[in-house]
Amino acid sequence: MKLLRTLSTSRLVLLIIAVAVLVAGVAAIAVAASGGSGPTPPPKPLAQAVHDSLSGPSPKGVTARIKFTNKLFPSGAITGQVGSALMSGASGRLWATNDGRGRLELQSNAGDVQVVWNDTEVTVYDASSNTVYRAKPPADGKSSAKSSADQGGIPSVAKISNFLAKLGEHASLSSAEPSNVAGQEAYTVRISPKHDGGLLGAAELAFDATRGVPLRLGIYAQGASTPVLELAASHISYGPVPASDVNVAPPAGAKSVDLGSLTRNGKDTAGQVHASGLKPVQAAATFPVVAPDRLVGLPRQDVRLVGKSDSKAALVVYGHGLGAIVVVERAGAAGNSGAMGSLPQVSLNGVTAHELATQLGTALTWKRGEVTYVLAGSVPPAAAEAAARALG
């Protein structure tokens, strides 16, 4: 979004954390925090509140205590190697500088997690499996160069109002509700999809009224009164952060998993497109591609052959928006190995599949013949299983 591109790294620090957690392979972010008691800012229209918060002083750094709570997964659904703080929830601390570096530590009985990021790399160390996941963030210029020009690039109230009006065509937006989060005067806004939202009910964002720093992010399932995922600061302070607080390496003996580049333009990205359209994909793939015109009532929207040259996969999308179903088909992989192999089993036309059911969506993986399938969507388990059976 153009509005977010005008913000400095320090003002997007909690959103960066959300991206880092996704890099770790988690289906969603979960962090719980309570609203604080204290003074609240004056009521303002949303566009004015956003503008005024972005026009405030940019902090030289951020230090915060946060709480991370995960109600996404049913009890007992996740066991074994993936039972880390990222799945069970945890408390921790955050350090971030205004030049694009930061560290997040989460501590829990299930195993600690440490996330470290800078301009060139994001690492997520999971102590429960002694594994470090590495990824390269999208190239976005130099943060330090941007920060000096940030104050001059604040969008006007009119531009923000225009952006919110366009967003309002697809989602319902609340007003800017005065609140207090982590001892800071803040505004809270709630957004919910108008259509094609799948199981997603709404999202809430609280931001510092005078600095524009995100303080709380909550995700709600349809019909839920409490968030299933929420990331929030319980205490926050602004000021310089020593380099030693953000330059921390994972243990030397940890297993390493390279997730590649997060940008779509990298030559080795998993999203590289080799063919597009059903017939070209079927002709280029080395395995039979199953892609009916419709799947559980959803029309087929896109078919692509993606991935590295030595691990191509067919990506098929059905439906629109967050309510879409995505199917990934590839040859030669073991369908029920790894983390998904420890999940509950379901029967699909005589084939055993493993299923991850959450309040926000369902994922299934199975193998038929020499082809492995992964199906995911923000749909209930019954709908996901019906779609999987319709693939044969």
Average confidence (pLDDT) per 10 residues, the chain, 392 residues? 35 38 33 58 96 92 89 62 64 91 87 89 89 80 42 83 93 95 95 89 95 92 89 92 92 85 47 80 91 94 84 90 92 59 84 91 91 93 94 84
pLDDT of amino acid 1: 35
CA distance 148 to 104: 25
pLDDT of amino acid 3: 35
Instruction: Enumerate the domain spans of the chain.
Output: 2-258, 270-390
Q: Which two tokens stand for residue 264?
A: 């779509």
pLDDT of amino acid 64: 95
Helix axes 46-54, 157-167, angle to 10 degrees: 130
CA distance 305 to 288: 12
The residues pairing with 325 across neighbouring beta strands, listed in sequence order, are 318, 377
**pTM (2 decimals)?**
0.75
pLDDT of amino acid 271: 52
- Segments in the chain forming alpha helices (H): 2-5, 13-23, 46-54, 85-88, 143-150, 157-167, 278-284, 381-390
Nearest Cα neighbor of 364 from 261, 295, 265, 285 is 295
**DSSP assignment letter at 121:** -
Nearest Cα neighbor of 326 from 282, 391, 392 is 391
pLDDT of amino acid 75: 57
Q: Superfamily assignment of 2-258 in CATH?
A: Lipoprotein localisation LolA/LolB/LppX (2.50.20.10)
3.40.50.300, 3.30.200.100, 3.30.110.30, 3.50.50.60: which CATH number matches 270-390? 3.30.200.100
Q: Which amino acid is at 124?
A: V
pLDDT of amino acid 72: 81
pLDDT of amino acid 208: 96
Q: How does strand 255-261 pair with strand 131-136?
A: parallel
Cβ-proximal residues to 254 (8 Å cutoff; 6+ apart), any chain: 125, 130, 131, 132
Strand (E) or helix (H) holding 375? strand 371-377
CA distance 254 to 133: 10
Length of the chain: 392
